[in-house]
Structure 1
Amino acid sequence: MPASLVFLCARKVVSDHGSALRSLASLPQELYPVLFKAAFLDQRPLVIGELVLRWPERVLSLTRSLRACQHCCLDLSRDWPSRDCLQAVLLAVVKGLRERDRRDRNALRVLDLCGVQDEGSRREPNTMGSWFRTVALSKACLEARGRRRGGESTTKRRRGVSSPAVEVEVRADLFVNGSSFETVRQALRGGGPLRLVCRDLRAEELSTQRTASLLDMLEPSALRRVDLRYNNLGLAGIALLLPRLASCPSLLSLRLLYSNVDVHRPTPGMEAGLRELAGGLGGLRNLREINLTSLRLSGKLRLLLSALERPLEVLELPYFSLTPSDLSYLSSSPHAPALRKLDLSGNSLSVEQLPSLQRLLSLSRSLSHLVLSGCSLTDSLLGALLPSLGLCRGLQSLGLSLNPLSTRGLLSLAHTAICLPLLQLLVYPQPTDCYEEGLPQPPSYYNLMEFPLDQGKLARATEELREVLERAGRADLVLSTDLYSHSTAELLEE
């Protein structure tokens, strides 16, 4: 759908800052959202700042304003945001707070920056990722606090009169690590006209104490996702943090990545610690997503997941060292029919585990994203799985990279994939018969990543796969060998 005449005119208005400023006062405020999107598309930070200063509504949601609309089908919310445009929004909010005493033309009370992307179809050099965005937000809060204190008159202080403690609530997803922790901590502590409220938290390389203090400073009712990675928490650290998360009624997602827990290296009190961990997870009453990457808790899946009050929709267990008993429990658990995404990457799957995996797939009728990368799936193992996989009619993406599959095995996979009506993406491994001579047998995960390929053989195998899709009329199905350029859609909506 082409842009409407209204949007084309909006782009013309924002193309020149001087004329835009002269025009805004005479334009209906109903046009401000269209002008805002046009200014973001064409990267006109000065116009964006003036629009924010004059914003006529109580709420400005960046992602909602940039989505496809009746005037423009482009969805700018999927792109990395421009640094200059985001800075213009923040500067205008701070400036608006300072000018409210003289002119109350700005109705803005909530600035919602949740859901701003860190990946997208259009990433340009002048963009702002989540770490820089978190620091910029924190500094804006501190600047607003400093300006408010500096701007209070001596008369007001003598009379005991001060400006309102909070005038604009800034909702955002925060990314905090060791280098940004202190700035974020200062922004969250104390009052100020800008109040920073976190919806989704990602914390990396923080000590348990710092992570705990950060959680204590956040608004519990607003917190929806917590992503803790590379924090070396151990069982004791996780057990310390989970009771804090139990006070967050809206918490849907918990990700504990690389937290230094391994039952293969037993320590005194480990069993008691595992029971405490299970009890802590049981206290997260609305949890719908859990990621336990590299928590090597072989044989403990029943203990952990049976403590949850409601079935999970997203379960990610990469490098969990799954045992046959783990998969057997999962396939018969209440979670199996509720799962929408399942990631078992990096777990070596065997013939012994095959019946449980077949049962799991046959029960997972709601499954839309499945990742079995690096699972040691051979042609014979995959062939035994294909009938069960064919029952997953709602599957939208399937990841099978870094498995030792031949071209023949991949062709069998392709014939199953074309019968899955909603499948949009198939990430497959380079065929084992397309490597140069000398590939170790059976090849390891690392062999498949590092060993040189025969480009001629690879081109012929790729063409065979594409012919299967073309003959079936499935040009909509994307084939890829790239592990990192594709990501699944957000599954847990607000």
Structure 2
Amino acid sequence: MWTWTPPRLLELAGKSLLRDEDLAIAALENLPTELFPPLFMAAYASGCNETLKAMVQAWPFARLPLGGLVQMPDQRTLQAVLGGLDLLLARKVRPRRWKLRVLDLRNTSQNFWSVWSAATTHECLWVGPVAEDSLRMKEPLGPLVVFIDLCLRHKALDEVFAHLISWATKRRKSLQLCCKKVTIFRMPIQNIKKVLNKVQLDCILEVEVKFTWKLSTLGTFASYLGQMTNLQRLVLSHIHEPSKEERQQITKFTSQLLQLHHLRKLHMDSPTFLVGCLDQMLRCLKAPLETLSITHCRLTELDLACLSQCLSISQLKELALNGVKLTSFSLKHLQVLLDTVAATLQDLELEYCDLSDAHLEAILPAVSRCHQLRAFSIRGNPLSMAIVGRLLHQTTRLRRLSLEVYPAPLESYDSRGTIHLGRLAQAQAELREILKDLGRSRTIWLSTGSCPRCGSNVVCVSVPLTHPINGLTS
């Protein structure tokens, strides 16, 4: 049955006030703090840009998380907000209620607006943002900071971003434009350089390159990378294998890693340019990594040996070597690698590595010593029912392990290599019996697909603790 919920008095008051923008602007001087966020939302929804401009100047909080209200404001809204900031920055004497220090245009802080929404209870209006911001007011005032995340998708920046960066560039003496994350898709390197020249590179914490680059392009980008001295996460995808003339570009890239003392997460998909010279990059890592992902490339035995001896992986929490063919050389280096990170490793992915029963048998002792392991995936490897069963026995002692993805055993396929549903069901039943015998609540996933790019089909095999297990119950 549909019921009508009448608007609250606060909502009606905001709409009534906005019917006369001059009146709304005049009322801001004495407007209670808790009414600012709902009135700002109403003014944005109604397109009352003059009111927004005035509200920015009287904003009673340290942070205005505009990106949490709208992922990217339209041109007129942004101009209104920036116009309000201009008027603030031009004043020699601060307004009485001026507390704004940060304009945040990132897609975060949605909770701020939900807490202060007119739909929340009255009690919610007094928690969270007020206490946090009032404490910050005791700190010395610094320059106004504008936070953005850059997503470079096209040949040039869209109109809104271009206007923002141009506005901030002209006001460098009175504000800081801080970009925490840069994601690069399809943008020419010359245009990327123009954008990076206008932001504070030492503010950038994350860089993701999701487009195929030539090694020469990476070499050009490297000079900017070295200036991102606080970078914590770097993701590179599909860097073309270099020609003989391009190989000097590898040094341009690896040498810049020497400047990244805070780099903790390194993801490299198809880094063919590093094959045979991985040690050159590893020697330049200055801080212990938490995440290392090197996927879909042909590492050499020397590469793996250098990786297993690298000092920067001693505190590794996540390791992924998906699509790296580990069967063309001795697995002793992989054993050493796993032993090295056993004390800290939480996530391990060895998917589509051509590992056979013998290979898994060799590394099982090392895996069983990873007592912090939470996620373990070896899908896409041709393994028999016997070795999957052994894996279940070995990993049952890893009490933190909650996500396990194994390949459907070879016995689940017919002679043509096609999954046979009857055989798969039988394999599931056998594995379920093994899990019951182990006497522990557990869920494993069996991957029946073979494509490392588009995602595999998986089936679940679980034994919940609520079911009797060898006479035991929860």
Q: In structure 1, the residue corresponding to 2:319 is in which secondary structure?
A: strand
* Corresponding residue to 2:297 among 309, 312, 320: 320
Q: In structure 2, the residue corresponding to 1:416 is in which secondary structure?
A: helix
1:251 equivalent in alignment to 2:231: yes
The CA deviation at 1:116 is 4.7
Letter matched to residue 313 of structure 1: E
* Corresponding residue to 2:194 among 205, 213, 224: 213
1:57 equivalent in alignment to 2:61: yes
Instruction: Indicate how the Cα distance of structure 1 residues 460 and 327 shifts in structure 2: closer, same or farther if over 3 A, else same.
Output: same
Output one character per residue of 1:72-111: Cα deviation in whole Å (capped at 9) or x when no partner.
xxxxxxxxx8xx8546899877655556879986744324
Identical pairs, percent: 26
Pairs within 5 Å for 1:394-473: 394-439=372-417, 452-469=418-435, 472=438
Aligned to 1:112: 104
Aligned to 1:309: 286
Aligned to 2:354: 376
The CA deviation at 1:387 is 1.0
Aligned to 1:332: 309
Q: In structure 2, the residue corresponding to 1:199 is in which secondary structure?
A: strand
* Corresponding residue to 2:214 among 223, 233, 254: 233
Instruction: Indicate how the Cα distance of structure 1 residues 485 and 273 shifts in structure 2: closer, same or farther if over 3 A, else same.
Output: closer
Contact 2:155/2:188, CA 8 A, preserved across alignment: no
Once residues 205 and 96 of structure 1 are traced to their aligned partners in structure 2, the CA distance between those partners, rounded to angstroms, is 30
Aligned to 1:148: none
Report the number of matched residues: 386
Once residues 303 and 317 of structure 1 are traced to their aligned partners in structure 2, the CA distance between those partners, rounded to angstroms, is 15
Q: In structure 2, the residue corresponding to 1:258 is in which secondary structure?
A: strand
Letter matched to residue 257 of structure 1: S
Q: TM-score, normalised by structure 1?
A: 0.65
Letter matched to residue 288 of structure 1: R
Contact 2:64/2:102, CA 8 A, preserved across alignment: yes
5+ residue gaps, structure 2, are 18-27, 89-94, 110-141, 457-474
Letter matched to residue 267 of structure 2: N
Once residues 459 and 91 of structure 1 are traced to their aligned partners in structure 2, the CA distance between those partners, rounded to angstroms, is 60
Once residues 115 and 314 of structure 1 are traced to their aligned partners in structure 2, the CA distance between those partners, rounded to angstroms, is 24
Contact 2:260/2:285, CA 8 A, preserved across alignment: yes
The CA deviation at 1:320 is 2.8
The CA deviation at 1:196 is 5.1
Aligned to 1:199: 180
Instruction: Indicate how the Cα distance of structure 1 residues 13 and 275 shifts in structure 2: closer, same or farther if over 3 A, else same.
Output: same
Output one character per residue of 1:108-127: Cα deviation in whole Å (capped at 9) or x when no partner.
4324355759xxxxxxxxxx
Q: In structure 1, the residue corresponding to 2:60 is in which secondary structure?
A: coil
Contact 2:60/2:99, CA 8 A, preserved across alignment: yes
Q: TM-score, normalised by structure 2?
A: 0.67
Instruction: Indicate how the Cα distance of structure 1 residues 112 and 187 shifts in structure 2: closer, same or farther if over 3 A, else same.
Output: closer
Letter matched to residue 352 of structure 1: F
Once residues 182 and 55 of structure 1 are traced to their aligned partners in structure 2, the CA distance between those partners, rounded to angstroms, is 28
Q: In structure 2, the residue corresponding to 1:330 is in which secondary structure?
A: helix
Once residues 300 and 468 of structure 1 are traced to their aligned partners in structure 2, the CA distance between those partners, rounded to angstroms, is 44
Letter matched to residue 284 of structure 1: L
Letter matched to residue 220 of structure 1: L
Output one character per residue of 1:423-457: Cα deviation in whole Å (capped at 9) or x when no partner.
22122223332223312xxxxxxxxxxxx422232
Letter matched to residue 321 of structure 2: L
Letter matched to residue 282 of structure 1: L
**Structure of higher CA gyration radius:** 2
Q: What root-mean-square deviation, in Å, do the aligned CA atoms of Structure 1 and Structure 2 show?
A: 4.3
* Corresponding residue to 2:12 among 9, 12, 18: 18
Output one character per residue of 1:364-404: Cα deviation in whole Å (capped at 9) or x when no partner.
02111111111001122112211100111111212212111
Once residues 262 and 375 of structure 2 are traced to their aligned partners in structure 1, the CA distance between those partners, rounded to angstroms, is 26
Pairs within 5 Å for 1:34-433: 46=45, 56-60=60-64, 86=71, 95=80, 107-112=99-104, 114=106, 116=108, 169-178=145-154, 181-183=157-159, 184-191=161-168, 197-234=178-215, 236-262=216-242, 266-268=243-245, 270=247, 272-296=248-272, 297-350=274-327, 352-364=329-341, 365-433=343-411
The CA deviation at 1:269 is 5.1
Q: In structure 2, the residue corresponding to 1:291 is in which secondary structure?
A: strand
Once residues 433 and 19 of structure 1 are traced to their aligned partners in structure 2, the CA distance between those partners, rounded to angstroms, is 70
Contact 2:258/2:285, CA 8 A, preserved across alignment: yes
5+ residue gaps, structure 1, are 1-10, 40-44, 64-80, 118-165, 440-451, 487-494
Contact 1:369/1:397, CA 8 A, preserved across alignment: yes
Output one character per residue of 1:156-190: Cα deviation in whole Å (capped at 9) or x when no partner.
xxxxxxxxxx9964423322122553544453234
Q: In structure 2, the residue corresponding to 1:268 is in which secondary structure?
A: helix
Contact 1:288/1:311, CA 8 A, preserved across alignment: yes
Output one character per residue of 1:122-173: Cα deviation in whole Å (capped at 9) or x when no partner.
xxxxxxxxxxxxxxxxxxxxxxxxxxxxxxxxxxxxxxxxxxxx99644233
Q: In structure 2, the residue corresponding to 1:299 is in which secondary structure?
A: coil
Letter matched to residue 317 of structure 1: I
